[in-house]
Structure 1
Amino acid sequence: MTPQPLHESLLDVAGKKIFVAETGDGPPVLLLHGGGPGTSGVPSYHRNIGALAEEFRVVVPDLPGYGRSTKGVDASDPVGYLADTVRGLLDELGLDRAHLVGHSYGGACALRLALDTPERVGRMVLLGPGGVGTTRSLPTPGLTALLNYYTGDGPSRPKLERFVREYLVVDATEISDQDIDDRYRASIDPEVVASPPLRRPSGRGALRTVWRTDVTRDRRLGRLPVPTLVLWGARDKVNRPRGGRMLAERMPDCDLYTVANTGHWVQFERAELFNRLCSGFLAGRR
């Protein structure tokens, strides 16, 4: 099947420019990328967009702070800021409701949007989402590497390559040098370096920010009505796989699939499996 072309646009959402790529027809699905340095929407889901577009209208934004979208994130409540922006994007697209697929930081964003306004979300697929049990243990080595990317001696290609090859995937042979180069160039955008979109909270209010980010502290989680599928790599070094069980035990309508021999980037490492499970779940073929 010939892949459908991507339609690209730069939309105004509450005074911010948000880059969006779209393709396909059918029920709308937003794919929300993670928070690693140099990432953005389409590269994060390039192995999935075509398959999902066979059944859905696929909308892939660059989240604030990333790619071609406006830089800068509210550091006092970054996940809430992302969720508000994505909700505003739904308004701008004329969508009362959409399915959400969220990886890592994007998964935390999807969860927050669903908790705040569950009526705006149809179904939800979460891939190793961030903010799950983060106040209950020390950061993982992968998350530490991510948060330290812009600190110390600053960003560098070796730091970026180590993060991607050592912490994102189990088998790094499919990550090309060009992939690393592209991400590195994006990570050193002067606006991003001046205001990294994902950083360790500091200063007054830091503790409140940390607690607000941990979704397992949110009592609304136990009554969230949105049907949810959680996919988590069993060898995830960024967000601990036990977070999947925490969500499944707290959410009233949550399926959990642990993916063997897979790291943090499930949709890349196990694209065929992800595409099948995601399409089936969002279409109600549970």
Structure 2
Amino acid sequence: MTTRRTVTVDDCPVHVLESGAGPAVLMLHGSGPGTTGSGAWATTAQALGTSWHVVAPDQAGFGSTPVPAGSRGGLALWTEQAAGLMDALGVEEYAVVGHSMGGAVALALAAARPERVTRVVAVATMGAPGAPLSADLDALWAAPADPAGARDMLSRLVLDQALVTEAAVDARATAMRAGAAAFASLFPAPRARWVDDLTLSPRTLAAVRAPVLLVHGNEDRVTPLGTATGPLLEHLADVRLHVLARCGHVPAIEHPHEFRQLLSAFLRQGRAH
């Protein structure tokens, strides 16, 4: 059964999609305008079945979760809020799956809470030292909240342009309009500084003790394979990389079956912990 509820974390309401029971998996979405926890992960959560306790929040500034007063978002806030959410839910150990921005948050959380985080899956992830702001990420963060902006953003996210359907464009444009006010405060130009904010130092990466699976599309233009994964392979202690051919920035959408197989197999390896 899938439920949606609001959990208070440090006096801030956090909107959460939950499903299943069993070992906990925290799923963190990416940074595109209009992104939400349920929009990013509901299909994957359903495919995982009921034997996992999936927790998919809207991170601060996205969906129904506001940016706390006096803050503007950023890696420190998202990491602290994710940790606080799992504390509020009474979950002592959990795996973390993060996409793009959410991958950087997942790795930062694993470094900050090594006694809690059992496994990390970082998908098309940000966070690598030295990774520049790509032209496509710059355009994605700047996309206007209208159908043209939604179409342009979706076209940059996927290699297979057949996925950019009218229904997908309409749904994303609606979500972008709903979240436009909060999102405007998160990544204003010049945007390279926000990539810097999401960058993890070699020292932080060395503090990650959990096994890490990197999943990346070979044709990812938003977080290109080489600059996004090379430094992580160098600095993480226990890491493996799975590259998907003919895949852009969203493996869960372009190769859903293979992605879910990878995810399930890697998470199952950690169930004994």
TM over 0.5: yes
Relative to 1, partners in 2 of residues 1:237 and 1:198: Cα closer, same or farther, differing over 3 Å? farther
Task: Give 2:117's aligned residue.
Answer: 121
Alignment partner of 1:38 is 2:34: yes
Q: Give the corresponding residue for 2:152.
A: 162
Q: What do the CA deviations read for 1:90-129 (whole angstroms, capped 9, x no partner)?
A: 0111011210000001111111111222212110100011
- In the other structure, the counterpart of 1:263 is 248
- Per the TM alignment, residue 201 of structure 1 is displaced from its structure 2 partner at its CA by 6.4
Deviations for 1:197-225, whole angstroms, at most 9, x for unmatched residues? Answer: 6404669xx96x6544311x331312421
| Distance in 2 (alpha carbons) for counterparts of 1:194 and 1:239 | 23
> What's the counterpart of residue 181 of structure 2?
193
1:218 aligns with 2:202: yes
Equivalent in the alignment of 1:61: 57
Return the match for 1:183 from 150, 156, 172.
Answer: 172
2:24 to 28, 53, 62: 28
C-alpha displacement at 1:55, in angstroms? 3.2
State the TM-score, normalizing by the size of structure 1. Answer: 0.86
Contact 2:206 2:237 in 1 (8 A): yes
Q: Which amino acid aligns with 1:145?
A: A
* Compared CA separation, residues 197 and 121, structure 1 to 2 (3 A): farther
Tell me the CA shift for residue 195 of structure 1: 5.0
Counterpart check, 1:146 vs 2:140: yes
- Higher mean displacement: 261-270 or 221-230: 221-230
- Structure 1: tracts of 5 or more residues without a match: none
Alpha-carbon distance in structure 1 between the residues aligned to 2:160 and 2:142: 23
**CA–CA distance in 2 between the matches of 1:72 and 1:155?**
23
Asked if structure 1 preserves the Cα contact closer than 8 Å seen for 2:219 and 2:249, the reply is yes
- Bigger Cα displacement from structure 2, 176-185 vs 236-245: 176-185
User: Residue 231 in 1 paired to residue 208 in 2?
Assistant: no
Q: 1:172–1:210: structure 2 CA closer, same or farther, 3 Å change rule?
A: closer
- Partners of 1:13 and 1:88 within 8 A in 2: yes
Give the equivalent residue in structure 1 for 2:161.
Answer: 172
One-letter amino acid matched to 1:13:
V
Structure 2 gaps of 5+ residues are none
Q: CA deviation at 1:54?
A: 4.2
Question: Is 2:33–2:183's contact at 8 Å kept on the other side of the alignment?
Answer: no
Letter of the 1:21 counterpart: L
Q: 3-state DSSP class of the match of 2:121? A: strand
CA distance in 1, matches of 2:32, 2:183: 14
Change (3 A) 1:63 1:223: closer
Identify if the C-alpha distance between structure 1 residues 195 and 144 changes in structure 2 by more than 3 Å, giving closer, same or farther. Answer: closer
Task: Say if 2:257 is the partner of 1:272.
Answer: yes
| Cα RMSD for the two superposed structures | 2.4
> Relative to 1, partners in 2 of residues 1:194 and 1:124: Cα closer, same or farther, differing over 3 Å?
closer
Alignment counterpart, residue 13 of structure 1, candidates 6, 9, 16: 9
Is 1:94 matched up with 2:79? no
User: Matches of 1:115 and 1:201 in 2, distance apart?
Assistant: 29
Percent identity of paired positions between Structure 1 and Structure 2: 30
Amino acid in structure 1 at the alignment position of 2:204 = R
- Is the 8 Å Cα contact of residues 220 and 248 (structure 2) preserved in structure 1? yes
- Over 3 Å counting, the alpha-carbon distance change for 1:261 and 1:197 in structure 2 is farther
Give TM-score scaled by structure 2 length.
Answer: 0.90
Q: Residue type matched to 1:214 in 2?
A: T
| 2:268 maps to 1:283 | yes
**Counterpart position of 1:50:** 46
Report the Cα offset of residue 7 of structure 1.
1.2
SS of alignment partner, residue 42 of structure 2: coil
For 2:14, give the aligned amino acid.
I
Q: Quick check: 1:245–1:256 contact (8 Å CA) kept in 2?
A: no
| 1:20 positional shift | 1.0
| Distance in 1, Cα, partners of 2:264 & 2:8 | 29
